[in-house]
Structure 1
Amino acid sequence: MTVSLASSDSRPQPLSLPALVDALSLRDLTDPAQGPHALQLLVSAAASALGERWGADVRVLRSRPVVAVEDNYDRLGYQRDAVSRDVRYTRYVSDTTMLRSHTSAGVPPALRALASSAAAPARDVLLVLPGICHRRDSIDRLHTGTPHQLDLWLLRRGGRRLDHDDLHDLVTALVGAVLPGTHWRWTATSHPYTTGGREVEAIHDGQPVEIAECGLAAPEVLSAAGLSPSSWSGLALGMGLDRVLMLRKGIPDIRLLRSTDPRVAEQLLDLTPYQPVSDLPPARRDISVAVAAGSDAEVLGDRIREALGPDADLVEEVSVLSTTPYADLPEAARLRLAMRPDQENVLLRLVLRPVDRTLTSEETNALRDRVAAALAGVQVRR
């Protein structure tokens, strides 16, 4: 099947009202007020382990997913031209607000509250910020546009300054709490809100799997919140909860974390190993799409999620099989796709597999047609 995907200008556009309502209606699996889930056990285990290790004042903070762009980016040190700010990856609600792309968006307000407190803390403070985030992302068994994250910031006023030895201790305690017995490693990297940044990988079946990023809290972030870097020091860590739970329980598909099938949902109330319910065959359909040059799997995956709505959970994966520039296509193909010179041809593979049943051929074709129709009418924005 072939369709044409239109291009547009580069002006950022906010989410449509229906898309915003859908996003805000999605259950946050880390929130006990919305029902129990194993992700909450990971949050509790992490907070308890680090709180006990440092004898810290543990403060669990929850906020709404709509945040100020300044808190999500500017006050965390992101440059104005950072690629993550692009509308392809950020879900803007207005010019000044957005659906948070990481739980770190809650850190600047938490630091400001700490700075404005009348009484100086008598001991270290551990900020625990769990929640659901919203991103443009590809579709496969390990990725979702609505991941759950956990930020852990350890703050100290006065005394010995927190350093990389403390950071190593923090990661060791954290991995021991959420992935007992798991070996891990870290490598140097950089983040806008840390100095001496590290990327943390768990070793699973002999292979490294990224689970967190961390570093020393950047002095600029502390000072912007009103905490003098000469008096305060801190450790900052952000962890992907979905990936950790999948490793902990041996869950093969991220969609299972939201399954309403009782055979699956009941297993997501604890941290015992996951027992597979079934191994259903996938259905595959290919779609040839004319898209704006430079479109990627994240953009297309996001459009497909929007088009299918609740049925998006039926999609196991969307992969790009090939990309062909306009100039390399035969004239007949350009005419069939109604392509323009500023477009390229992408061949997509749509893999459909519900977690609890097998799709009929008619259902599969209907889903393919819905995706194709949506892609044909969507504008790719930069």
Structure 2
Amino acid sequence: MYLSPPSVAAALAVRDLSVPAAPAGDEPPHALALMLDAITAAAVAVSGGAPHRVVRSSPLVSTRDNYDELGFSADAVTRDRRYSHYVSPTVMLRSHTSAGIPAVLRALDPASDRDEVLVLPGVVHRRDAIDRTHVGTPHQVDVWRVCAPARRTVDELLALAGALVEAVLPGARWRAVPAEHPYTFDGRQIDVWHGGEWLELAECGLIDPGVLRRCGLDPRRWSGLALGMGLDRAVMLRKGIDDIRVLRSTDARIRSQLADLSPWRPVSAMPPITRDLSVVIGAGEDDETVGDRVRAALDARVDDLESVAVIARTSAAELPAAARARLGITDGQVNALVRVVLRPLDRTLTDAEANALRDRVYVALHEGPHAELIGA
């Protein structure tokens, strides 16, 4: 039900690549840190040079700040333990950097005059699918402009969005599509035209009065703009990277290209190895929960997987009696066909290595009494 102490320690040890390297260190800033700098500078410039703060905090947050204070409903699907990492009934690993906003707002003097840009970057923790664009520990940044007594407007919101699009993808076409978010009103989804299609880059809106009120600020006096985006996606779009594993690669050929925001030059094209697994899993499992189970089981070797996806499922009731007996499947379970694509970034796996990884994925997922392992 809750994360074990070793799991919490491992989560807190995940390096935040948006943190600039120490001035005396030999390692240059990561492209994620450079992108954060560009986004911060653009937000300050479009706000007329308003004061700004970069606020970094622990990934451990109260469940109340992650959800309740931001206006998430009690039955919001994102609260489900299938998607969020809970440490206790009241503490969790943040699922978005917006979780740091309530503490910042509560610390403000309600009677003060203010026009300030708040930048909250960091690693967030989610149960997510395993594929080329998803990871369980992505980087995000929230950019909020908080003001009193001046009133911020939708025009200023769109100006902020446009400035951040320009910082991420100079000269890109973009659009603002109406969208709803728990902690904003007049919300928008910001899409950019890239590679011949519209891709979501950010979400934004005017700060919801309920958020201000719950944090001790009078919404008749206070207002502001709220915008959040994925830093990983921003860097991948800017550099033309199509595999999120690249961002944390330790391969020297790859790391040398992650010290700037210039276009990506593919290092190699390793051949994929595909393994299809027939496993028994719970009827409620999906790509996100399957991905999280595999990620936990493989630990550091998870980066050898390009993707893990459930491509077909058959309930126990739909199976012939002989198949049910062979699988040992029961009501409430399904027979799932899971496709595993193995492709490390820097080398080709041997058949023996591929089979060993296949078996580890199988053991992590299969809930039936009979195992079908192929490794030596």
TM-score above 0.5, yes or no:
yes
The number of equivalent residue pairs is 362
What is the rounded CA distance, in whole Å, between the counterparts of 1:221 and 1:157 in structure 2?
Answer: 15
1:192-231 correspondence runs (5 A)? 192-231=182-221
What is the rounded CA distance, in whole Å, between the counterparts of 2:112 and 2:332 in structure 1?
Answer: 60
What is the rounded CA distance, in whole Å, between the counterparts of 2:288 and 2:94 in structure 1?
Answer: 17
| 3-state SS in 2 of match to 1:354 | coil
Letter in 2 for 1:126: V
| 3-state SS in 2 of match to 1:114 | coil
Corresponding position of 2:373: none
Corresponding position of 1:3: none
Moved more, 277-286 or 27-36: 27-36
Query: Aligned-pair distance for 1:33?
Result: 5.1
Per chain length, whose mean CA-contact separation is higher, i.e. which structure has more relative contact order (CA < 8 Å, sep 6+)?
1
Corresponding position of 2:374: none
Letter in 2 for 1:16: S
What is the rounded CA distance, in whole Å, between the counterparts of 2:366 and 2:89 in structure 1?
Answer: 27
Query: Aligned-pair distance for 1:226?
Result: 1.3
Q: Does 1:80 align with 2:68?
A: no
Letter in 2 for 1:307: A
Letter in 2 for 1:151: D
Query: Aligned-pair distance for 1:45?
Result: 0.8
Query: Aligned-pair distance for 1:19?
Result: 2.0
Q: Identity of paired residues, percent?
A: 55
Letter in 1 for 2:38: A
What is the rounded CA distance, in whole Å, between the counterparts of 2:349 and 2:291 in structure 1?
Answer: 20
Query: Aligned-pair distance for 1:340?
Result: 0.4
Preserved contact between residue 14 and residue 92 of structure 1 (Cα < 8 Å)? yes
Preserved contact between residue 32 and residue 40 of structure 1 (Cα < 8 Å)? yes
Corresponding position of 1:270: 260
What is the rounded CA distance, in whole Å, between the counterparts of 2:73 and 2:119 in structure 1?
Answer: 25
Query: Aligned-pair distance for 1:17?
Result: 2.5
Corresponding position of 2:46: 53
Q: Does 1:24 align with 2:12?
A: yes
Letter in 2 for 1:263: R
What is the rounded CA distance, in whole Å, between the counterparts of 2:6 and 2:343 in structure 1?
Answer: 26
Q: Does 1:102 align with 2:90?
A: no
Q: Does 1:37 align with 2:25?
A: no
TM-score normalised to structure 2 length: 0.94
Gaps of 5+ in 2: 369-376
Query: Aligned-pair distance for 1:377?
Result: 5.7
| 3-state SS in 2 of match to 1:177 | helix
Corresponding position of 1:5: none
Q: 1:360 aligns with which of 346, 350, 353?
A: 350
Preserved contact between residue 141 and residue 254 of structure 1 (Cα < 8 Å)? yes
| 3-state SS in 1 of match to 2:175 | strand
Preserved contact between residue 319 and residue 348 of structure 1 (Cα < 8 Å)? yes
1:1-382 correspondence runs (5 A)? 13-32=1-20, 36-54=29-47, 55-115=49-109, 120-121=113-114, 124-159=115-150, 161-376=151-366
Query: Aligned-pair distance for 1:372?
Result: 1.1
Letter in 2 for 1:102: H
What is the rounded CA distance, in whole Å, between the counterparts of 2:363 and 2:19 in structure 1?
Answer: 36
Query: Aligned-pair distance for 1:214?
Result: 0.6
Moved more, 329-338 or 237-246: 329-338
What is the rounded CA distance, in whole Å, between the counterparts of 2:138 and 2:82 in structure 1?
Answer: 17
Moved more, 353-362 or 366-375: 366-375
| 3-state SS in 2 of match to 1:141 | coil
What is the rounded CA distance, in whole Å, between the counterparts of 1:64 and 1:31 in structure 2?
Answer: 13
| 3-state SS in 1 of match to 2:87 | coil
What is the rounded CA distance, in whole Å, between the counterparts of 1:37 and 1:295 in structure 2?
Answer: 35
Counterparts in 2 of 1:214 and 1:174: CA distance versus 1, 3 Å: same
Preserved contact between residue 215 and residue 236 of structure 1 (Cα < 8 Å)? yes
Preserved contact between residue 306 and residue 343 of structure 2 (Cα < 8 Å)? yes
| 3-state SS in 2 of match to 1:91 | coil
Corresponding position of 2:371: none
What is the rounded CA distance, in whole Å, between the counterparts of 1:59 and 1:154 in structure 2?
Answer: 10
| 3-state SS in 2 of match to 1:246 | helix
What is the rounded CA distance, in whole Å, between the counterparts of 1:250 and 1:131 in structure 2?
Answer: 22
Aligned-pair Cα RMSD in Å = 1.4
1:284-343 Cα shifts (integer Å, max 9, x gaps)? 111111111121010000000000000011110011110111111111211121100111
What is the rounded CA distance, in whole Å, between the counterparts of 1:182 and 1:41 in structure 2?
Answer: 19
What is the rounded CA distance, in whole Å, between the counterparts of 1:377 and 1:20 in structure 2?
Answer: 25
Counterparts in 2 of 1:119 and 1:166: CA distance versus 1, 3 Å: closer
What is the rounded CA distance, in whole Å, between the counterparts of 1:217 and 1:91 in structure 2?
Answer: 26
Query: Aligned-pair distance for 1:120?
Result: 3.3
Preserved contact between residue 19 and residue 306 of structure 1 (Cα < 8 Å)? no
1:193-247 Cα shifts (integer Å, max 9, x gaps)? 0001111111111201111111110000011111111111111011011111101
What is the rounded CA distance, in whole Å, between the counterparts of 1:226 and 1:33 in structure 2?
Answer: 36
